[in-house]
Chain A
Amino acid sequence: MALLTRTTKDLILRINEFFDNIELGLIVFREGIKSYLEKDMEAFRNHIQKVETLENNADRLQREIENEMITHSILPQHREEVFNLIEGLDEIIDSVKRSLNEIDLERPEIPASLNKDFISLTETSAVCAEELIPAARAYFRAPFTVREKLLKVYYFESETDKISMNTKRRIFQELKDIDLAHKAHLRYIVHHIEGISDEAQKAADLLSAMAIKIVM
């Protein structure tokens, strides 16, 4: 019995730690993009390292959670869905890491006139993903509140889409002094940042269905 209690406690701690990692990853992502736009490359590289550590931790925790749940047959009826949710959340931090790494590798030249747009896009996309975490936590404690929390995710995802469209419009229609290849490159970076909110929406769809099932 003591073993079971300890396993339960450890597992709850691990799940919470996993969520913390994702939340921290999103904060670091925001700061990373800001430091890149401010041309502070040392801070940017520090942020990349932090994200890598957080992503590795998230992977380790994901594996441990899955092992624990399978070995001790925990939540047998909802286990697969919980695994999918954790996988979905892990995709978010993977996406964060990928975006920062690609920016680091490709070093896109972002015109100063677009800084505000990129900051706004990053902010909205990250907030969208951040709003998913309280909903995911609520699934374990108050599943009947999950859907109302998810409304914010859907709202910020649509806001991210709008900002992304506006940014791309500005890149292709207003910036006359840069060539097409440069524009295409900037669009590619916009897609990367926007991708985080898309991953959050995918996980939100899954979480929404999970919440209905568990409340029924």
Chain B
Amino acid sequence: MILFFLTSGLFLGWSLGANDASHVFGSAVGSRMVSFRKAAIIASIFVILGAVFQGSGAAHTLGKLGGINALGGSFTLALAAAITIYIMTKFSLPVSSTQAIVGAIIGWNLFTGNPTDSSTLSKIVLTWVIGPVLGAIFAVLLYIIIRRIKKASNIHLIRFESYIRTGLIIVGAFASYSLGANNIANVMGVFAPAFNLQDLHLGLFTLSSNQQLFLLGSLAIAVGILTYSRKVMETVGSNIVELTAEAALVVVLAESLVLFIFSSTGLSELFVKMGLPPIPLAPVSSSQVVVGCVIGIGIYKGARNINFKLLGQIALGWLTTPLMSGLLAFFSLFFMKNIFNIDVGHKITEGSQTISSTLVEADANMSAIIKYLLLGIVIAGTLLIIYYYLLSRKRTRELRQSEEKFWKNMK
């Protein structure tokens, strides 16, 4: 049963991968600086690394908004959020997974009669507004700096482009790592208390129960990236405004900076020490920040080439995502509870905030299934990457041989 409940989390992971990889590599793929295949492989690897090795920290952020206290509730919320993200992705609209989950949690709060913490909610909503604005400001500043450096250095266009490409891959890999670290909690965090597996020893390191769960979730994200993220990547990267190579790098850099600011406790404390108001530390929607960055550059370049129609559609998506997710969660919870008779959670009273489903004991069979499943997927993934690498080498060699043959015949 617990594996069945997990499927909605995996579906959410897949939706998140299909959608959120665009925030990291969308501008690079949209500007054709990095091929989709290369971007998808790098993003997948680093999302998995981020989720497994640094995924536990972000689990607390959404907990304040609503403490889901039944596994059936977690399943339904994850499903509602996943369906919302899937539908938005289907229409090629960048959608925020944070918004979808926040909407679903509010739906759960309304259904179970739990109050929604208005201060946390307003803090999150505030970042949805500040994030893109700050992203636009950072993007314009970074863009001006890069352009000036380019002009002053008289660097060869091809060399400059090669540096930008390397930068895009490095920053993209780092951003993918952060994406995995931050967003795996949205995908798998709700299932963590109900999952208890034996430690998995892999020679060099050991994966705890949570890490195995996060690895499963991140593999779902990776599958989402590889199978369904292309359309959204192209929307973010090229449809709003045509991006140049340096603009593509600026977008990813600015996005990373904004995400860093809104998640850095150290920086927030520094602000307080300097007598400034603290930075609201809340999950920022990376899709909104990216769109903000792209628009910032578009406005700086004269706003003539901004696709305002598409922008309107994206803004509409921002409003409809939490609403749709919330309504979907509310009605799904109703059906789950009244038709399938599944416990989806209850009103939290003082001292009763526990998971109502029984915790799963460390089951040796389950651990073995997960162990072989994970190992199988990791080996298959590695073989696939090696296969692609060899294939591309073969193509390059064939091209070189045909070139040599051509010139031999010419002589």
Contacts and interface: CB of A to CB of B under 8 A. Distances in A.
B115 to A, nearest CB: 52
A38 to B, nearest CB: 33
Given A1-B166, A5-B162, A8-B162, A75 B403 contact: no
21 contacts: A4-B162, A4-B165, A11-B158, A60-B407, A63-B406, A64-B403, A67-B399, A67-B403, A71-B399, A73-B32, A74-B158, A75-B158, A76-B31, A77-B242, A77-B245, A139-B157, A140-B157, A140-B158, A141-B154, A141-B157, A214-B157
A149 B166 CA distance: 32
Given A60-B407, A67-B403, A216-B301, A4 B166 contact: yes
Interface string B216-243: 0000000000000000000000000010
B16 interface: no
B156 interface: yes
A67 B151 CA distance: 28
Contact of B161 (A15, A63, A74, A143): A74
Interface string B135-177: 0000000000000000100111111011001100000000000
Given A77-B245, A144-B151, A8 B158 contact: yes
A184 interface: no
Given A60-B407, A216-B301, A12 B161 contact: no
B404 to A, nearest CB: 11
Contacts of A141: 154-157
Interface of A: 1, 4-5, 7-8, 11-12, 15, 60, 63-64, 67, 71, 73-78, 139-144, 214, 216
A142 B153 CA distance: 9
Contact of A75 (B157, B301, B406): B157
A141 B159 CA distance: 10
Interface of B: 31-33, 35, 151, 154-159, 161-162, 165-166, 242, 244-245, 301, 396, 399, 403, 406-407
A67 B396 CA distance: 10
B117 to A, nearest CB: 47
B161 A75 contact: yes
A201 B407 CA distance: 31
B407 A140 contact: no
Nearest to A143: B157
A73 B38 CA distance: 12
Contacts of A71: 396, 399
Given A1-B166, A77-B32, A12 B156 contact: yes
Contact of B159 (A8, A64, A77): A8
Given A60-B407, A76-B33, A142 B161 contact: no
A31 to B, nearest CB: 27
A140 B166 contact: no
Contacts of B396: 71
Contacts of B399: 67, 71
Contact of A73 (B35, B151, B244, B403): B35
Nearest to B402: A67
Nearest to B153: A141
Given A63-B403, A67-B403, A71-B399, A77 B158 contact: no
Contacts of B159: 8, 12
B184 to A, nearest CB: 29
Contacts of A139: 157
Given A8-B158, A77-B32, 9 more contacts: A4-B166, A12-B156, A63-B406, A73-B32, A74-B162, A76-B33, A140-B158, A141-B154, A141-B156
Nearest to B406: A63
B154 A77 contact: no
Nearest to A64: B403
Given A141-B156, A216-B301, A77 B162 contact: no
Contacts of B33: 73, 76
A11 B32 CA distance: 19
A191 B275 CA distance: 78
- Across the A-B interface, give the 4 residue pairs with the lowest CB-CB distance, nearest first: A76-B32, A8-B162, A140-B157, A141-B154
A63 B400 CA distance: 12
Contacts of B162: 4-5, 7-8, 74
A73 B245 CA distance: 12
B192 to A, nearest CB: 38
